[in-house]
Amino acid sequence: MTLAPETTTLRVQLRLAEPNDTAGTAASDDWFAVCDLSVLIPGRGVAALLPDGRQVAVFLDRTGRMYAIDNRDPFSGAAVLSRGLTGSHQGRPFVASPLLKQRFDLASGVCLDDESVRVRTYEVRAH
């Protein structure tokens, strides 16, 4: 017997406003839909293009938590983080760049191998 894949109407959305935005509460239009939730597979990244031309890498971990970071690897300049390997180190989820193997904390964006380097993170939700 063949089962059809589960379908959902939930969309993965990112908050585009800066996290330290001092303009007050974020407006409802600060959220940008990047893909259907069903596209995300635990342990694999998905790249999406933002309205301003930047790329974001979206991840779903095995517990169902979603993360979004800039897709550009700050060490090589290539937009490849969505293709990286995911894992955890001391309870911190990370993605390792497929090029130079630096690990980036998915929650904070800090490089675990050089804490002076970081990538931008985004608030993400399924809505």
How far is Cα 39 from Cα 50, in angstroms, rounded to an integer?
17
Angstrom distance (rounded) from CA 57 to CA 35: 11
* Residues contacting 36, CB < 8 A, separation 6+: 8, 10, 11, 12
pTM, full prediction:
0.84
Element (H, E) at 70: strand 66-70
Q: How many Cβ atoms sit within 10 Å of the Cβ of residue 48? A: 20
Q: If pLDDT is split at 50, 70 and 90, which confidence band does 23 have?
A: low
Query: pLDDT tens for residues 58-111?
Result: 999 988 999 999 999 999 999 999 999 999 999 999 999 999 999 999 999 999
Task: Determine the pLDDT at residue 25.
Answer: 54
